[in-house]
């Protein structure tokens, strides 16, 4: 089964929690045992599994990437001013694979799935959710 999640982002750099909509896809699929393969479409976006307890970890991720990959110093900036966004997305990566166990995402208590926006705000971002049944 495949479904595409579509949503907007509100800031240039932000981690958006997409755990609930992904779980809703799993629930609609009826798959009890398998894997959820997630893929962020877009060269300036990524996916990350990270702590969900409070927003400090997400803020720390954005701040770290800003320090590691600053804005305005890359060759690609001459084209459209977002060289840093491409590098951040490449470093974090566009995909995550999560086990489906008993019809639920196999995340731990403190894990959620985050869409990483590095070139927003955007009116439309897409995550392809492909579910594969194994049991």
Q: What is the mean pLDDT of the chain?
A: 97
Instruction: Tell me what the mean pLDDT of segment 36-43 comes to.
Output: 98
Contact 45, 119 (CB under 8 A): yes
Using DSSP, state whether 106 is helix, strand or coil.
coil
Question: Model confidence over 91-121: pLDDT tens digits?
Answer: 999 999 999 999 999 999 999 999 999 999 9
Structural domains present in the chain: 2-133 (2.60.120.460)
Sorting pLDDT into bands at 50, 70 and 90, what band is 23?
A: very high
CA distance 34 to 135: 6
Q: Measure the CA–CA gap between 24 and 98, rounded to whole angstroms.
A: 14
Amino acid 112: pLDDT: 98
Q: Which residue has the tokens 């694979």?
A: 97
pLDDT band at 135 (very low <50, low <70, confident <90, very high): confident
């Amino acid at each position: 089964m495949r479904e595409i999640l579509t949503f907007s982002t509100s800031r240039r750099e932000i981690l958006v929690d997409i755990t609930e909509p992904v779980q809703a896809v799993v629930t609609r699929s009826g798959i009890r045992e398998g894997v959820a393969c997630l893929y962020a479409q877009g060269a300036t976006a990524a996916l990350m599994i990270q702590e969900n307890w409070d927003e400090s970890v997400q803020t720390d991720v954005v701040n770290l990437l800003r320090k590691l990959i600053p804005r305005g110093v890359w060759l690609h900036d001459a084209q459209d001013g977002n060289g840093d966004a491409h590098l951040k997305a490449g470093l974090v990566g566009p995909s995550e694979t999560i086990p489906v166990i008993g019809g639920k995402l196999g995340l731990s208590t403190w894990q959620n799935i985050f869409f990483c926006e590095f070139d927003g705000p955007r009116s439309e971002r897409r995550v392809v959710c492909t579910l594969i049944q194994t049991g």
